[in-house]
């Protein structure tokens, strides 16, 4: 085991730097340290001006996603040990404009989340006095996987379409739409389908599957996109073959 | 969507089963809190809890279910009947996301993400807004408001070893405190008995309610030696591993002093053993526990025991509010961990805090809306106050020169002082030493200097502001801890080991003073139907 490891960290300070640079820091090696611990060591002991986001340090708040040696990961859940001997390169997630150092602007992602209407849509709400909507464990299991997304945006960083087609609504947002579509309490599938088919939605995806590869929570957005394509195609053919059924339905 | 609620694992309590009752929930809460709960607040809480939980269900929270589709419940520590609703073991995560996603439906709700509030705006004795920095740009702005609700959570980062996220620096408490609002019952800090060593990541109480055992270095279920009942193979409510958190954390310390814990590079530990539950049950009931152990401790709880030790988890105290979340400062409200109503008393019952968010969040929201409806023009000095604040931030931090103190070492020294003086067991000597240390750190804080002078996403500026909040919170924990010369719940004084209802069946109110040392007053606990009695577990 080495005593120290070098981190090559992406730096960009818009007030001072014309363009980004990489700065090398030597940090002590500890087998229990994650990349985030190394960044915290830099910030606390070497250079307080390094900027990055983090909060929970237990892989659930979704804020510390970065590129580490070219792969999008949660830095709080990525051991240095697996990346020896280094140097280890740390960069912001691609696809998001860099505000500063390792911090990206996630406005576009937030707008996309809203666009898919990620809330329960029903024609009628039951009064609370009548208690909970019933939902069997099997019905819960239908959508549970898609409800596990922590909005870490690693799937956007990995998505080859999002990089060249910024209007692509993207893996996490589609998985989130699917989370509500498949919820037995929800009746909003058609509304969401309309949104997705207007947007440069699911058709742009070539199902490379990188999004599911990098997902730290096994949400499988690629699977969600695939399911969506199937139901949207069925819908499309229905509308072509039986346009009269719409009014009747 | 990044709020620390996201990390809550086990569940949220509300009476839903036919054999349960509101009184049983109230009694568990009050006895768990060592009779420091305001019983009128607890009664309102247990009464409104089920409705708020159903509301969240209607908003899409994926609660775990029984085979017939009704809500499933599990038991938690200190609880007579199982009443904890859960969404596997990511309950806080699912509650937060369901609520967050539901807010997206309402365009009038405008979020200001990544703005950091540095000061309350007050005129004519009424809170009329806040001053905040936009982290991305460094822009300082006044937000004028007819009512303000603080929901910024706790301050576990005042200690070195905590389950709390990096953002839990007591900011809301410090804002109110500096504005003259008292902080209530701040001496009560909850240690959760089962944190992973080194990271402090929480292993949920659900691991024990599903049948996990706590064993010492000899494989012995040591809690039987601490008046917590006799070991049974299956979990027994209000007994052994399902005793309350304060008692379990205290038992750990005694066990450690007796030399029966396991030494590791990251301190003494005991073992949480869930192996006998089997892989299937573990995956079904506590999958996040397995995920956390695999990712962060490099062990599989299906085949190995989990090393755990007590870890700072929750602050029972907070900004003094009434049952509607109103603080003594007109126009200012607070809800959640940052507030103290007080339903948690001297020791919060596991799974009451998530429910507290719902019940008192709704109450504070309604009360603040009502208050706002009766208010008119904002005061004339607010903009001047905001400009003053912007100048202060520039002068003290971004333009300051010649300082010699860095943020991180001051924070580390503060945390170490708090752990040494105000941990699970306390006494006058340790507390006063810690208080002296905090005073000296305050002096040194004036000499703090930043590496980072940028206005763009300056996280060092935020961390120095957080450090100043931590210093305030530390002071507001230590002074009432010194004044309360008794032992109750999570506040254990080795020099005053007994509970003293004659003197201290009362809430501490800690006021900031310009002179330096805070002022502590006491105000009686509201007792309605449950007179103080002995806390009995396991028998």
Nearest to residue B537, comparing CAs of B237, B111, B281, B308? B237
Give the strands of the sheet with B126-134, arranged side by side: B115-123, B126-134, B140-144
Task: Inspect the interface and report whether the beta carbons of A58 and B201 lie closer than 8 Å.
Answer: yes
Please indicate if any CB of chain B lies within 8 Å of the CB of A14.
Answer: yes
Output A221-226 pairs: Cβ under 8 A, ≥24 positions apart: A221/A149, A221/A155, A221/A171, A221/A172, A221/A174, A221/A175, A222/A171, A224/A146, A224/A171, A224/A174, A224/A175, A224/A177, A224/A178, A225/A171, A225/A174, A225/A175
Confidence of residue A89 (pLDDT cuts 50, 70, 90): very high
CA distance B198 to B477: 24
Best CA proximity match to B84, nearest among B9, B144, B158 = B9
How many angstroms separate the Cα of B433 from the Cα of each of B44, B368, B414, B420?
40, 41, 12, 9
Nearest CA in chain B to A142: B62
**CB nearest to B62's CB, from A32, A136, A140:** A140
pLDDT at position B26, please?
98
Percent pLDDT > 70 in chain A is 93
Of A72-81, A135-144, B72-81, B297-306, the poorest mean pLDDT is in B72-81
Q: How far apart are CA B471 and CA A161, in angstroms?
A: 48
Between chains, do A56 and B7 touch, taking CB under 8 Å as contact?
yes
pLDDT at A38: 98
Q: Do the chains contact at A51 and B458, CB–CB below 8 Å?
A: yes
How far away is chain A from the Cα of B362, in angstroms, using its nearest Cα? 15
CA distances from A69 to A51, A90, B271, B508 (A): 19, 6, 36, 52
pLDDT in tens, A10-55: 999 999 999 999 999 999 999 999 999 999 999 999 999 999 999 9
- Secondary structure in 3-state letters for A188-229: CHHHHHHHHHHCCCHHHCCCCCHHHHHCCCCCCHHHHHHHHH
Nearby residues of B429 by Cβ (< 8 Å), 6 or more positions away = none
Task: Determine the residue of chain A that is closest to B289 in CA distance.
Answer: A58
Measured at the CA of B87, the angle between CA B83 and CA B90, to 5 degrees, comes to 115
CB pairs under 8 A between A and B: 148
Number of other CB atoms surrounding residue A159 within 10 Å: 27
- Report d(CA B182, CA B520) in Å as an integer: 9
Per-residue tokens: B343: 């339903």
Sheet holding A65-68, edge to edge: A21-28, A4-11, A88-91, A65-68, A71-74
> Judging by beta carbons within 10 Å of its beta carbon (0-12, 13-18, 19+), is residue A192 exposed, middle or buried?
buried
A150 chain-B contacts, CB cut-off 8 A? 6, 93
Q: What is the pLDDT of residue A199?
A: 61
The CA distances from residue B93 to B12, B87, B328, in Å, are 12, 9, 32
For residue B522, how many other CB atoms are within 10 A of its CB? 15
Pairing of β B267-273 and β B306-315 = antiparallel
CB-nearest to B295 from A77, A120, A144 is A77
Contacts of B450 in chain A (CB under 8 A): 48
Looking at residue B287, its pLDDT comes to: 92
Helix (H) or strand (E) holding B183: strand B183-184
Contacts of A120 in chain B (CB under 8 A): 58-60, 102
Q: Do A128 and B55 touch (CB under 8 A)?
A: yes
Angle in degrees, 0-180, between the axes of helices B287-296 and B278-285, rounded to the nearest 10: 100
Both tokens assigned to A163: 């990089």
Tens-level pLDDT at each residue, chain B (539 residues): 899 999 999 899 999 999 999 999 999 999 999 999 999 999 999 999 999 999 999 999 999 999 999 999 999 989 999 999 999 889 999 999 999 999 999 999 999 999 999 999 999 999 999 999 999 999 999 999 999 999 999 999 999 999 999 999 999 999 999 999 999 999 999 999 999 999 999 999 999 999 999 999 999 999 999 999 999 999 999 999 999 999 999 999 999 999 999 999 999 999 999 999 999 999 999 999 999 999 999 999 999 999 999 999 999 999 999 999 999 999 999 999 999 999 999 999 999 999 999 999 999 999 999 999 999 889 899 999 999 999 999 999 999 988 999 999 999 999 999 999 999 999 999 999 999 999 999 999 999 999 999 999 999 999 999 999 999 999 999 999 999 999 999 999 999 999 999 999 999 999 999 887 899 999 999 999 999 999 999 88
Which of B62, B94, B194 to mutate to test binding with chain A, by most A CBs within 10 Å of its CB? B62
Report the 10 Å Cβ neighbour count for B485.
13
| pLDDT, tens digit, 9 for 90 and up, residues B230-246 | 999 999 999 999 999 99
Find, in chain A, the residue whose alpha carbon is nearest to that of B7: A60
Q: Cα distance from B200 to chain A (closest Cα, Å)?
A: 9
Q: Which residues contact B515 (CB under 8 A, 6 or more apart)?
A: none
Q: What is the ipTM of this complex?
A: 0.96
Per residue in A183-228, pLDDT (tens digit) is 999 999 999 988 887 766 677 787 789 999 999 999 999 998 888 8
Cβ atoms of B223 and B193 within 8 Å: the answer is no
Q: How far is CA B112 from the centre of its chain?
A: 24
User: From the CA atom positions of chain B, what is the Rg in Å?
Assistant: 23
Question: Which residues of chain B lie closer than 8 angstroms to A151, CB-CB?
Answer: 1
Catalytic residue among B4, B83, B192, B363: B192
pLDDT at A142 over 70: yes
CA distance B115 to chain A (A): 14
Q: Per the CB < 8 Å rule, is B57 touching A176?
A: no
Q: What's the gap in Å between the CA of A184 and the closest CA on chain B? A: 10
In angstroms, the CA B471 to CA B441 distance is: 8
- B277 HSE (CA, 13 A, CB side): 28
- Closest residue in A to B136 (Cα) is A99
As a whole number of angstroms, the distance between CA B92 and CA B362 comes to 17
Residue of A nearest to B2 (CA): A61
Judge whether B192 counts as a catalytic residue: yes
Instruction: Render B469-497 in DSSP notation, one character per residue.
Output: HHHHHHHHHHHHHHH--S-BTTBEETTB-
d(CA B457, CA A211) in angstroms, rounded, equals 28
Question: In the prediction, which pLDDT does B324 show?
Answer: 98
CB contact under 8 A, B58 and A176: no
- Burial class of residue B465 (count of CB atoms within 10 Å of its CB; 0-12, 13-18, 19+): buried
Contact A185 B60 (CB under 8 A): yes
Q: What is the pTM assigned to this prediction?
A: 0.96
Q: How confident is the model at residue A248 (pLDDT cuts 50, 70, 90)?
A: very low
Query: Which tokens hold the place of B33?
Result: 């809190």
Closest CA to A87 of A32, A172, A37, A22: A22
Report pLDDT digits (tens) over B254-303.
999 999 999 999 999 999 999 999 999 999 999 999 999 999 999 999 99
Angle at A17 between CA A11 and CA A22, to 5 degrees: 30
Q: Do A56 and B64 touch (CB under 8 A)?
A: no
| Identity of the residue in B57, B94, B406 whose CB atom sits nearest the CB atom of A132 | B57
């Amino acid at each position: 085991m080495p005593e120290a490891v070098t981190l090559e960290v992406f730096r960009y300070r818009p007030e001072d730097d014309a363009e980004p640079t990489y700065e090398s820091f030597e940090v002590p090696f500890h087998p229990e340290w994650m990349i985030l611990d190394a960044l915290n060591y830099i910030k606390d002991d070497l250079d307080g001006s390094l900027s990055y986001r983090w909060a929970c340090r237990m892989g659930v708040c979704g804020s510390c996603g970065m590129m580490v040696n070219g792969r999008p990961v949660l830095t709080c859940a990525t051991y240095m040990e697996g990346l020896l001997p280094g140097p280890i390169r740390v960069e912001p997630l691609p696809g998001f404009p860099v505000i500063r150092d390792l911090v990206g602007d996630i406005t576009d992602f937030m707008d996309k989340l809203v666009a898919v209407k990620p809330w329960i849509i029903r024609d009628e709400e039951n009064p609370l006095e009548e208690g909970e909507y019933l939902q069997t464990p099997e019905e819960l299991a239908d959508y549970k996987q898609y409800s596990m997304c922590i909005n870490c945006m690693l799937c956007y960083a990995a998505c080859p379409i999002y990089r060249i087609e910024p209007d692509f609504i993207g893996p996490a947002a589609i998985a989130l739409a699917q989370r509500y579509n498949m919820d037995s309490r929800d009746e909003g599938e058609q509304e969401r389908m309309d949104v997705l088919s207007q947007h440069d939605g699911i058709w742009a995806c070539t199902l490379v599957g990188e999004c599911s590869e990098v997902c730290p929570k096994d949400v499988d957005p690629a699977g969600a996109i695939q399911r969506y394509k199937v139901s949207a195609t069925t819908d499309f053919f229905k509308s072509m073959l039986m346009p009269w059924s719409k009014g009747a339905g | 969507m990044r709020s620390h609620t996201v990390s809550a694992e086990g569940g949220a309590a509300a009476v839903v089963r036919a054999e349960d009752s509101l009184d049983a929930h109230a009694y568990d809460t009050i006895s768990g809190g060592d009779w420091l709960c305001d019983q009128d607040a607890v009664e309102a809480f247990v009464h409104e809890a089920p409705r708020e939980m159903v509301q969240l269900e209607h908003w899409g929270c994926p609660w775990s279910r029984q085979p017939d589709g009704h809500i499933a419940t599990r038991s938690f520590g200190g609880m007579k009947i199982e009443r904890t609703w859960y969404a596997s073991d990511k309950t806080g995560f699912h509650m937060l996301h369901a609520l967050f996603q539901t807010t997206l439906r309402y365009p009038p709700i405008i979020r200001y993400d990544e703005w950091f509030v540095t000061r309350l705006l007050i005129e004519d004795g009424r809170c009329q807004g806040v001053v905040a920095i936009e982290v991305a740009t460094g822009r300082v702005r006044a937000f004028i408001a007819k009512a303000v609700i603080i929901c910024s959570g706790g301050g576990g980062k005042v200690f070195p070893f905590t389950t709390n996220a990096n953002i839990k620096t007591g900011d809301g408490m410090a804002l109110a405190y500096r504005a003259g609002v008292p902080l209530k019952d701040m001496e009560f800090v909850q240690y959760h008995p089962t944190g992973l060593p080194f990271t402090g990541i929480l292993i949920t109480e659900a691991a024990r309610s599903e049948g996990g055992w706590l064993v010492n270095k000899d494989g012995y279920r040591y809690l039987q030696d601490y008046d917590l009942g006799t070991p049974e193979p299956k979990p027994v409510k209000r007994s052994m591993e399902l005793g309350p958190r304060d008692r379990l954390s205290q038992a750990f310390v005694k066990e450690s002093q007796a030399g029966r814990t396991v030494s590791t590079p990251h301190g003494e530990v005991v073992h949480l053993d869930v192996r006998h539950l089997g892989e299937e049950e573990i995956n079904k009931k506590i999958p996040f526990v397995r995920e956390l152990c695999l990712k962060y401790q490099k062990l599989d709880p299906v085949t190995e025991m989990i090393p755990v030790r007590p870890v700072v988890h929750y602050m029972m105290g907070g900004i003094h509010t009434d049952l509607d979340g109103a603080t003594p400062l007109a126009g200012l409200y607070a809800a959640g961990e940052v507030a103290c109503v007080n339903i948690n008393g001297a020791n919060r019952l596991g799974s009451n805090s998530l429910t507290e968010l719902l019940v008192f969040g709704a109450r504070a929201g309604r009360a603040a809306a009502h208050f706002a409806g009766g208010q008119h023009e904002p005061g004339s000095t607010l903009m001047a106050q905001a400009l003053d604040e912007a100048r202060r931030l520039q002068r003290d931090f971004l333009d300051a020169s010649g300082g010699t103190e860095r943020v991180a070492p001051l924070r580390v020294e503060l945390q170490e002082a708090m752990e040494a003086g105000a941990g699970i067991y306390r006494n006058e000597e340790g507390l006063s030493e810690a208080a002296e240390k905090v005073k000296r750190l305050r002096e040194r804080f004036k000499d703090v200097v930043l590496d980072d002078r940028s206005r763009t996403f300056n996280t060092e500026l935020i961390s120095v502001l957080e450090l100043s909040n931590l210093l305030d919170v530390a002071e507001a924990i230590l002074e009432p801890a010194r004044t309360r010369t008794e032992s109750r719940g999570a506040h254990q004084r080795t020099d005053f080991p007994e509970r003293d209802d004659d003197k201290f069946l009362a809430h501490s109110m800690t006021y900031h003073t310009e002179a330096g040392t805070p002022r502590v007053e006491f105000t009686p606990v509201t007792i309605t139907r449950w007179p103080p009695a002995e806390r009995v577990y396991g028998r």
